Amino acid sequence: MNNANSKPFLIVKDYSVSGETFELLHDADLDMLITHPQPSLEKLPSYYESKDYISHTDGNKSLFEKLYQFVKSIALKNKLKLINEQSPKGRILDIGAGVGDFLSVCKNDGWQTVGIEPSEKAKAIAIQKGVSFVNDLASLENNSFDIITMWHVLEHVPNLEEYISELKRLIKANGTIIIAVPNFNSFDANYYGKFWAAYDVPIHFWHFSKTAIAKLFAPQKLKLQKVLPMKFDSFYVSLLSEKYKNGKMNYLKAFWIGWKSNRYGKRNSEYSSHIYILKKE
C-alpha cells in the first residue's frame, strides 16, 4: 500500500459526525480504496460519536432500531452456523465484539470465547451478558485460537499489515479467520456514489475488494478459501445512504436498491458486503 502510487477516486463527506470531506485514493495493484487523510489515533475516537453507530448500543425504540435488531437476530444464527461449519467447538476470538451478542451466542453453543472491543460503552453492555475481554492482541498467546472473527472491523484498523501479521500469530495451524467487510464494487456503492454509507469516512480507513483481501493476506500464508455474501447489508446500507443523499430514510427506495444490489451480486458475485473465509496454510 503506497499512497504515492494511488490515484484519486472520489471525494466523500463524513455525514455522521464532523461534516469534513476526505479523498478516496485507488490502489490499482490491490484494487483497494484508501481514505486520505487518515485521522490521528488521538482524534479518531471523536469520529465514532454518532447516533448512527447502532452496533455500540442495544437500541430498540425507533423503527430503524427495531428492524436492525430483528435482522441481527437472524444474522447471529447464520454466523453461528458458519463457524460451526469451519471447526469443532474450540476457542474463538471476536475482534470488535461490540455489545457482545455474537460471543454470547457462541458461548451458549459451547465455544470458549474471548473478545476485544475498544468502546468502553459497548464493552460494559457485553460484560453484563457474560462476555470476557482482553485489552489488546499483544496479551494473547501464539497459535491460541481455532477461529478469529472480525465482523465489519478490518476496515477500521489503522495499521493494516501489522494487524494481519498479528492474526497469523494468533490463529492455530489449520485455523480459520473470518473477515466481513463492505465491497465498493457492489451495485449499491456504484448507485449511491459519494453518498454510499459504507464508505463511512474517516473511521473506515480501507475499502476492500476480493482482490485486495486475497493479496493482503497471502504474504502471511493465509489463503482465501471462500467468499460469501452478506445480503442484508445492501438494505441497511441503502437506508443510511438514502438519509445521506436525501435527508431522510426512504424505506421503499432503499429496499428497491438493496434488492437490485443483491440481484447484481448474484449475477456478478459483487455483493454489498462479503464474508471472507481464510485458512492458515
pLDDT digits (tens, 9 = 90+) for 51-80: 655 555 555 567 667 777 778 888 999 999
Length of the chain: 281
How far, in Å, CA of 204 to CA of 50, rounded?
14
**162 grid coordinates:** 501489522
* 264 touches 254 (CB < 8 A): no
How far is the C-alpha of 214 from the C-alpha of 112, rounded, in Å?
A: 28
Strands of the 171-182 sheet, one edge to the other: 112-116, 91-95, 145-151, 171-182, 273-280, 222-229
In a domain, 38, yes or no: no
Domain that holds residue 225: 56-193+212-280
- Please report whether residue 11 resides in a domain: no
Say whether 207 sits in a helix, a strand or coil.
strand
Query: By the 8 A CB rule, do 143 and 239 touch?
Result: no
What is the percentage of the chain residues whose pLDDT exceeds 70?
Answer: 93
Evaluate whether residue 26 is within a structural domain: no
pLDDT tens, position by position, 159-218: 999 999 999 999 999 999 999 999 999 999 999 999 999 999 999 999 999 999 999 999
Place of cell 498467546: 141
Separation CA 179–CA 174 (nearest Å):
16
Number of domains in the chain: 1
How would residue 281 be classed by pLDDT, with cut points 50, 70 and 90?
confident
Residue 243 belongs to some domain of the structure: yes
Distance CA 171, CA 199 (A): 29
Residue whose C-alpha is closest to residue 236's, from 178, 196, 193, 208: 196
Comparing 6-10, 69-73, 149-153, 238-242, which segment has the lowest mean pLDDT? 69-73
Based on the number of CB atoms within 10 Å of its own CB, is 250 exposed (0-12), middle (13-18) or buried (19 or more)? middle
Q: Is the pLDDT of residue 246 over 90?
A: yes
Q: Which helix (H) or strand (E) holds 8?
A: strand 7-13
Grid cell locating 119 = 468502546
pLDDT digits (tens, 9 = 90+) for 99-135: 999 999 999 999 999 999 998 989 999 999 999 999 9
* CATH number for position 107: 3.40.50.150
The predicted pLDDT at position 49 comes to 82
> Which residue in 190, 196, 138 sits closest to 169, CA to CA?
138
- Structural domain contains residue 14: no
For cell 445521506, the residue is 244
Q: Is residue 40 part of a domain?
A: no
275 located within any domain: yes
Q: Tell if the pTM clears 0.75, that is, is over it.
A: yes
**Per-position b or e across 177-207, b if 16+ CB within 10 A of its CB:** bbbbbbbbbbbbbebbeebbbbbbbbbbbbb
Residue 94, amino acid: D
Say if 68 falls within a structural domain: yes
